[in-house]
Amino acid sequence: MNFHNIVLAAAMAWLLAAPLAGWAQASDAKRLRIVGGLAGVNQYTRYEEPFWTRDLARLTGGKYTAEIVPFDRAGIRGQEMLRLMQLGVVPFGTALLGLTAAQEPSFAAPDLAGLSPDMPVLRKAVTAFRPYLEKTLRERYGIELLAVYVYPAQVVYCNKPFASLADLAGRRIRTSSPPQADLVEALGATPVQTGFAEIMANMKSGNIECAITGTMSGNTIGLPEVTTHIHSLPVNWGLSIFGANMGAWQALPANMRATLKQELPKLEVAIWNEAERETGNGIACNIGSASCAGGRKYAMTEVKPAPTDDARRRTIFANTVLARWVHRCGAQCATVWNQSIGPVVGIEAHAK
């Protein structure tokens, strides 16, 4: 058995120590078992973890407590989360929407690269897509959607000057998903699929000249030490869903379900506000602004969107990113798009 399988087996043993309902009796309190989002980021450390380990007991008068582990420290691959939640192995779990697209391609729609140049557009896209997301999770996967979380914006860092998206042509750029790669190719650049942990090594070796990653996560790994310019136009963001296996959900008492339905939307709002704040703060720290809080100050040059950039983004999105996603996803995804996000952003998908 290799190391990954050992870790996965340990994680499954922890999860399965409780019944399918996802909770265990502990004296007079019931203890929920939660798989959370990405470890180490503010969305998890400041919001998800405290909600389950501290706030839940207060909100339920001590009747419920919870244990939570980030999925990326539980030995669980992000691509496996939807299936594990469907099976009830993970009764309550957080899944990165982009990674669930490996099982359900339509779920990539609200965070396709180039779709949302700012938080207001992203909010509109998610609001429009949410009814389909809820219905599909419930009917196809037996999962009750309880919250949609967001991470800060993904932007372009480069080790040489540039003034607009057009200047990226010919450069080798780190990407983390097929839609990002589609956008990069349409700019005339070369996408290089690279794991987050490998960004610095690839930048130092010269294998890549630019990287798409989060404004603050890039700061955290020291990316400004090997890059000079950062474009402030979001490429995409990073959405995740928090949901419950239907069996686990229905096994909870009605008053507990009502409490979670009331409180989790508040947690969702807090996480969205944090993502928006952190997006701006990441830029501030990378360029050495006095408003930087909680990150390291660097002296990068901020490349603000040129007058041509937003039009270029929109054209590439409609003609390349959306078109290729529909091609991979199928005609049904074009229908889903045209009945949800398409009307609010004014872009129609065409099935071929």
Whether the CB-CB separation of 247 and 142 falls below 8 Å is answered with yes
List the chain domain ranges.
Answer: 3-150+238-279, 154-236+282-345
Coil, strand or helix at 23: strand
Question: What's the pLDDT at 14?
Answer: 45
Q: Extract the residue ranges of the chain whose pLDDT is less than 70.
A: 1-29
> 156: exposed, middle or buried (C-beta count within 10 Å: 0-12, 13-18, 19+)?
buried
CA-to-CA distance for 99 and 80, rounded, in angstroms?
Answer: 8
Please tell me the pTM assigned to this model. 0.89
CA-to-CA distance for 82 and 245, rounded, in angstroms?
Answer: 10
> 279: exposed, middle or buried (C-beta count within 10 Å: 0-12, 13-18, 19+)?
buried
- Domain 3-150+238-279 fold: D-Maltodextrin-Binding Protein; domain 2 (3.40.190)
Whether the CB-CB separation of 163 and 306 falls below 8 Å is answered with yes
Domain with residues 154-236+282-345, CATH architecture:
3-Layer(aba) Sandwich (3.40)
Question: What's the pLDDT at 144?
Answer: 98
One-character DSSP codes across 60-115? TTTSEEEEEEEGGGTT--GGGHHHHHHHTSSSEEEEEHHHHTTT-GGGGGGG-TTS
One-character DSSP codes across 224-282? GGT--EEEEEEEE--EEEEEEEHHHHHHS-HHHHHHHHHHHHHHHHHHHHHHHHHHHHH
Whether the CB-CB separation of 305 and 232 falls below 8 Å is answered with yes
CA-to-CA distance for 342 and 20, rounded, in angstroms?
Answer: 38
Topology alike, domains 3-150+238-279 and 154-236+282-345 = yes
Whether the CB-CB separation of 259 and 195 falls below 8 Å is answered with no
